[in-house]
Structure formats: structure tokens, C-alpha cells
Structure 1
Amino acid sequence: LAGMAPATLHDWRTWIVRPLLGTRRAALRDMLRHRDIRWIEDPTNVDVRFERPRMRASLAQGEGERRLAEALARSAQAARERHDIGRRAAMLIDAFASRPVPGLIRLDRDFAGHEDGQAAVYVLRILLATVGGMSFLADEARCAELLSRMQLGSLCATLSRTVVDARRTGIFLRRESRNLPVPAPPADNWLWDNRRRITLKDGQGDLVIAPLGPAAAGKAPFSEDVPQSLSRAALAAEPALWSGGKHLDFAGGDAGPQSVSIVPAVAPFARFL
């Protein structure tokens, strides 16, 4: 009722579980009374200076039970709708999205004109936030407008720190090159640029994590299915391992030391899922 989820995963490590969210206070009191456990009231529960007790008092009067039941029904319906659009969005991502190189997402051109426009907008919001490393989804109205423009032809735009490059061969999303993290020693469970999760396996020595950069990106192997300029730009914004000014490896590579693991993170859900 307070916007809480029954279970939340924090930092991909700790579960916060609330098994009693759907249990009424009266039922909890009865359960404790049968076990001879005294109920301890939170003083703020009856302090009308706070909104929560004022709402409880209001619902306890007149048709409060009916209004509460209606509110719970609306909440349940909203949850079902969120689940449904999430399912449809997952189907679109599976059907239309790919990752030709680390840091670059490609959507088929047909994605922009898909008949399920609501789910397509939701997909675009999620992907823009994920590629750009943003904790909040991109604005819905701006994403809907951007999707409409994609149907008209080629375009290049930036939203949520993500460059959107729509071409004849596909719709490409990559992290813009501005405001990337400065070089720093790796830290365990570090969320680098809100896009990559760093895990230390052993002592990191003199390793530093910094963006790969254009020079090193230009030497990386490329996919023939993607314009090299897009591959270079995407790779340049990826985290790389450096030691003594020498480039060792980048996220998605396999030549670097195994003391550090760099894996993708889904920014909108990286802290709380």
C-alpha cells in the first residue's frame, strides 16, 4: 500500500523481503494475542501530523472498507498491467534487439513501426536508460516522439546519455562520449558509469579502469555487419583495464587478467530490482 514491493533485490546481493505486506493489522494482532505476545504500537501510527494515520482514520469512517477494497483492486489491476507490458516488451527485445559489439545495441528497422506501439515505447525507454547508464527510464512522451521520427527515416539524436543513430541497416544505440568516468582503481561490486558491474576476484595490483578511448578502440576487431564508425564509438566508451598506461583488456574481451570481472548491468534495475 505504501509503494513497497513484496521482495526487492538490493545491489544484486541482498534480498529485502516483506512477507506481511498483504496482511491486515487486525490479523497480525490476533496472531500475536494467540501467542501471548504484546502488540507494540508505533507512536507515529496515531499521530495525525503524519499523512499515514490521517488516511487510516479517514478510511475507518463511513464507507472506508469499500474505498479500501476499491483501492486494493486498482492497485492489483495496475500490477497486472505492469506485468503484461513487461512481458510484451521482453518479447520485442528478444525479436528485434542484438548486441553486435560491446556497448552497441542494434534494433531492426521494423521495430519502429511495430503494431504494439505501447510496448515499443517501453522497450525504447528501458534500452536508452540501460545503454546510457541512467537510473530512471527516459521520458515517455519524448520516447514516443523519437519512435515516430524513426519511422520516417534516418536520424541522429541524444537522449538519456544515449546516442540514437537510425540508419537503413538498423537503429543503433550507444553511450555518448561525454562525462565518462575518470580513471580509477577497481573496487569490488563497483557500478562503473552505472552500466558495468566490477567484481574483484584477487588483488588488483596496479590496475586502473578507464574508458577504452578512440585510439585503442580503433585497433579492436569489428563486425562486418556494423559500420566501423559505430563500433569504434561504442567501444571507446566501454570500461577497459589499464596498467602503467598500457591497455590490457576491455569489457567483453578475453585477453586481460582474471583478477577483475566486468559484466553488463541494467541501470534502471541495478540498485533495486
Structure 2
Amino acid sequence: MTTIVADALGPDTPRRIGVAVSGGGDSTALLHALIGAGFAVEAVTVDHGLRPESLTEAEDVGRACAALSVPHTILCWPGTEAAGNLMDAARRARLRLIGAWARRRGIDTVALGHTADDQAETFLMRLSREAGLEGLSGIRARFRAEGVLWVRPMLTVPRAALRDWLRARDIGWVDDPSNENDRFARVRARKALRALRPAGVTAERIGAVVGHLAAANAALDRLLGQWVAAHVTETGGELQVPEGDFAALDPELRRRFVLDALIWIAGTDYGPRGAKLAAFLAAPRDATLHGCRIRFARGRMVLSREARAVAGLVAARDAVWDGWRITGPVPEGARIAALGAGGLAQCPDWRATGISRAGLLASPAVWMGETLLAAPLAGVGTGFVARNLRGSFADRGFSR
């Protein structure tokens, strides 16, 4: 197991690495494999508070880490307050909390203990939702989010093999009873996978199929990336493309472009509902979709943030606002909010920026009460800089 993990991470992975440890078999095996591979490990556990014994289990992880001389931190998230899809809310909370922890600790890479079974279960779950090629391409082996590189070095390893490896070393783990609760879609997929095993449909074979699909998906992503580099202009968080070039694009690549553009502009993990996106693509026209505006004017298609989506969003002077951070001489007591029509009226040279009026209305500005101090994207405010923390659209890659 140590060799598998080391080979999956490769020689370029920093020797100091974070690892998310729940106390279950998968993450416990990952912790020990990383140590065996010679990494300087720091562990973190998120206590969701969903079961009375969860804090005790997190503290048990801490004691096990102490015995291994591994620094350990417990992060708390009140999962009982979550609304909607609990599993999705928990996943987002883990990424947010662990990402912040890693940044505080100066850790660039965090390892997650997902296995071949997780890959197969995810495939079945997405299959039941009629997912397309992107969804059926499976869990990514690595991705960047919350300012951290997340890696999954055990995606090819069956869960049963990890438990055998732990038993052989007399290493214990905790089984979460929610893993048998049919309320959760993943548990239902797990049981379906067991039922399929006699027919030869195993986690390993599904993993091989996922690999084939992922290769095809990556090829389409490369084609889209080349098209974006040749035809799309990015200015101040806004994207512009000639209408003719967009219309000539292959329909599947056209769908991918709009979906990726909306996700990037809105700063979300997911795009709009498939039906809404399909309706737009069937008859492209001016539209408001997913907190973004799409307009066709002067032979160009322009995609920008929707002003109404950020109209009530306010951040402290040193905080992130809708994915933007403003640096410069921001005084105490100032706030970051949308520029809006009133602010844009105070920016006489905004047309020279190359950003549309709609895009600038939703851009970040520095306010002191009702007084506009700076609107960096609109060319107002000496010494102020607005940085898009989502990075460049062309550089982000197109595989989710």
C-alpha cells in the first residue's frame, strides 16, 4: 500500500502533506501509508456533530496520531444545521474547513482516502441521474480548490484490500453506522454494487470503464481549451467571443463552453440545471442564467456577472467579495460592494476598459458609506487593484 500511494503521488508532491482522517478504514490506511512512504504528515478531522459519539471518535483519531507523532487538528461543523442535501453540504464544509486549515498551516497538498469502491459508487449514482460524459468520467485523482491541491492516491485500490492491509498490521479503525443507512444515495449505490458483483461488475471493472470515459472527456476538454485560447477574450471577469465562432462550434463543445463559463463567472461548484442550459443552447439569445448575463451585441456574445446577483453582497475591506480581492489604500471602515449604476456614473472613462456596462455594474468597488472611493475594474482609484481569485478562465482547465 505504501508503494501504491507513493507512486500515485509521484516525486513532485511536497514531502510535507496534510491528510483528512475520519477514523474510518480508508483514511486510516492512507495515514499509515503516507507515513510509511516517508511523508511529513499533518492530520485533520472534521467533526460534523451528526452523531453523539462523533467528537469522541475525532479525539480518538487525535490520540492515534499522537502515538505516531503526527500533529492533529479537529475542526467542527454543525451538520445538524445543514439544509437540503446533507451529503453535499458536508462535502462542501469539509473542503472549506480543511482548505482554510491547510492554508493556515502552510500546507499546499491534502490527501483524501477515496478508493476504487468510492469511484464505482459515484459512477452508479451519476448513472442513475442520467449523467453525461463529464459526470461518468468519475472522481478526479487531483484537483485544486480552496487554495489547496487535493489528491486521492488510492482511487485504484479496493476498500476490502485496505482493510486486509490494516488487519495484517493490527491497526484498528471505526465503522460509521451511517454507511449502512439507506437514506443516503451513496449507501444505496454501495449495496447495488454488492448485488452486481456476481455478474462480474466489480469496483475494479467499473474503475476501468471510468478510466476510458475520462480519457475521452479529457480529449474534448483539450479541444475546448484550444478553441477558448483562439477565440475567447477575458477582461475583468467577463468573457467575450465572436457570435460566428460560437455558432460554428460543435454543439457538445458549445454546451461545455457555456457551462464552464457560467461556473467560472459565478464562482460556483455546479452549473445551472440541465434543462435551463439546454433551453438556452436550443435558441441562444440574451438571457439571465445562473447569476450571470449573456448578451449578443455588435457581433459578439458577452458573458458577465449579473448585477442583481451581487446587489446585496457586502464584504469587509480585507475580505473576499464574490471571488475578488481588492488591495491598495483601503481605509478603515470602508466596505466592498458592487459598483452599480450610481457608482458607474462616477467612472467617466469606463468604456476604455473593454468591459461591458453590464459587467462593470457587477464589479467590485470600495465604498465609504455612500461615497465611491475606488472601482479598479472601471479605472477609478489610484493604487487599487482588484484580483480575481478564480484565476484565468483559459488557464483553469475544463475538467470538473
Give the unaligned 5+ runs of structure 2. 1-118, 123-138
Shift of 1:117: 1.9
Distance 1:242 1:146 in 2: 36
Once the two structures are TM-superposed, the CA of residue 116 in structure 1 deviates from its matched residue by 1.9
Partner deviation per Cα, 1:18-72 (whole Å, 9 max, x = no partner): 21221134543554466x3335463659958653663454355x333x5444422
Distance 1:108 1:76 in 2: 35
Q: Distance in 2 between matches of 1:231 and 1:166?
A: 12
Q: Give the aligned partner of residue 84 of structure 1.
A: 219
**Residues 340, 362 of structure 2: 8 Å contact kept:** yes
Higher relative contact order (CA 8 A, sep 6+): 1
Match of 1:63 among 164, 189, 199: 199
Moved more, 205-214 or 166-175: 166-175
Alignment CA distance shift 1:211-1:46 (3 Å): closer
State the shift of 1:89 in Å.
Answer: 2.0
Contact kept, 8 Å, 1:214 with 1:233, in 2: the verdict is no
Quick one: which amino acid aligns to residue 110 of structure 1? G
- Calculate the TM-score normalised by the size of structure 1: 0.72
- Gap change, CA 1:237 and 1:97, over 3 Å in 2: same
Match of 1:177 in 2: 307
Q: List gaps (5 residues or longer) in structure 1.
A: none
1:37 aligns with 2:170: yes
Q: Does 1:210 align with 2:314?
A: no
SS at match of 1:173: strand
On the 8 A contact 2:330/2:366 being kept in 1, the answer is no
Q: Does 2:168 correspond to 1:16? A: no
CA distance in 1 between partners of 2:310 and 2:326 (Å)? 19
Name whichever of 197-206 and 165-174 sits farther off: 197-206
Instruction: Give 1:163's aligned amino acid.
Output: R
Paired residue secondary structure (1:20): coil
| Residue correspondence of structure 1 range 179-194 to structure 2 within 5 A | 179-182=309-312, 184-186=314-316, 190=320, 192-193=321-322
Match of 1:111 among 226, 229, 245: 245
SS of match in other structure, 2:307: coil
Partner residue in 1 for 2:10: none
Partners of 2:315 and 2:206 lie apart in 1 by 50
- Runs of 4+, deviation exceeding 6 Å: 199-203
More helix by share: 2
Distance in 1 of aligned mates of 2:190 and 2:160:
15
Q: In the comparison of the two structures, how many residue pairs are matched?
A: 254
Quote the Cα distance in structure 2 between the aligned partners of 1:11 and 1:48. Answer: 30
- The corresponding residue for 1:255 is 381
**Out of 362, 366, 370, which is 1:245 matched to?**
370
Deviation at 1:104, TM superposition (A): 3.4
User: For the Cα contact (< 8 Å) 2:286–2:296, is it kept in 1?
Assistant: yes
Find the aligned partners of 1:48 and 1:186 in 2 and give their Cα distance.
42
Measured in 2, the distance between the counterparts of 1:185 and 1:45 equals 38
Conserved? CA contact 2:158–2:203, under 8 Å: no
Q: Per the alignment, in what secondary structure is the counterpart of residue 178 of structure 1?
A: helix
Alpha-carbon distance change, 82 to 250 in structure 1, aligned in 2, over 3 angstroms: farther
Which residue identity is paired with 1:162?
C
Q: 1:97 to 1:220 in 2, by over 3 A?
A: farther
- Percent identical across equivalent pairs? 21
How far 1:187 sits from its partner (Å)? 6.5
SS of aligned partner of 1:247? strand
Contact 2:328/2:383 (<8 A) preserved: no
CA contact 1:125–1:139 (8 Å) conserved in 2? no
- Which letter maps to 2:335? V
Q: Specify whether residues 212 and 44 from structure 1 end up closer, same or farther in structure 2 by C-alpha distance, changes over 3 A only.
A: same
